[in-house]
Amino acid sequence: MPLPKVLVVEDNPANMELVYDLLTVAGYHVLTATTAERAIKLASTVKPDLVLMDIGLPGMDGLEATRRLKRNPTTAAIPIVCLTAHAMHGDEARARRAGCDGYLTKPLDARSLADDVAEFIVGIEHTNDDHD
Ligand code: MN
């Protein structure tokens, strides 16, 4: 089986390095983008199994990028888990309205990130199975 592909969209180099290392060690093929524009291009060509989408990005933010990915038939089925540093009331609802399938709050828990990602991928595969 090929390694599951995860596209990580994150503009903070330290966070990117942490997520990249944790997911690579856990056996994922990690692709990276530091802007929403690049993420949208990569997602439609690479078709990752999951996108981890930072909300706060320079230029187009992660919520708008999520809306665009979910609107495009080529990328609509790719699960998107939003990452945000703003643990503010209403943020989860906003992320879900934009089309995020899941939500993780930063600072990320290094001990559970790989398991969290695996759960999102498995959960979504099971959901899809119901419709096959
Ligand atoms: Mn950011």
| Distance from residue 43's CA to the centre of ligand 1 (Å) | 18
Q: For residue 131, name the pLDDT band (cuts at 50, 70, 90).
A: very low
| Distance from residue 85's CA to the centre of ligand 1 (Å) | 8
**What percent of the chain has pLDDT above 90?**
75
| Distance from residue 56's CA to the centre of ligand 1 (Å) | 4
Q: What is the mean pLDDT of residues 47-54?
A: 97
| Distance from residue 39's CA to the centre of ligand 1 (Å) | 13
Q: Residue 110: what pLDDT? A: 92
pLDDT tens digits, 31-45: 999 999 999 999 999
Q: Would you list the DSSP string of 83-103? A: EES---TTHHHHHHHHT-SEE
> Residues whose CB is under 5 A from ligand 1 (ion)?
11, 54, 56
Q: Which tokens is 92 given?
A: 């989860």
CA angle, 83 as apex, 43 and 95 as ends, to 5°?
85
Q: Which tokens is 61 given?
A: 């933010």
pLDDT tens digits, 89-125: 788 888 999 999 998 988 899 999 999 999 988 766 5
Terminal Cα distance for the chain, rounded: 21
Contact between residue 42 and residue 31 where contact means Cβ atoms under 8 Å apart: yes
Q: Which amino acid is at 4?
A: P
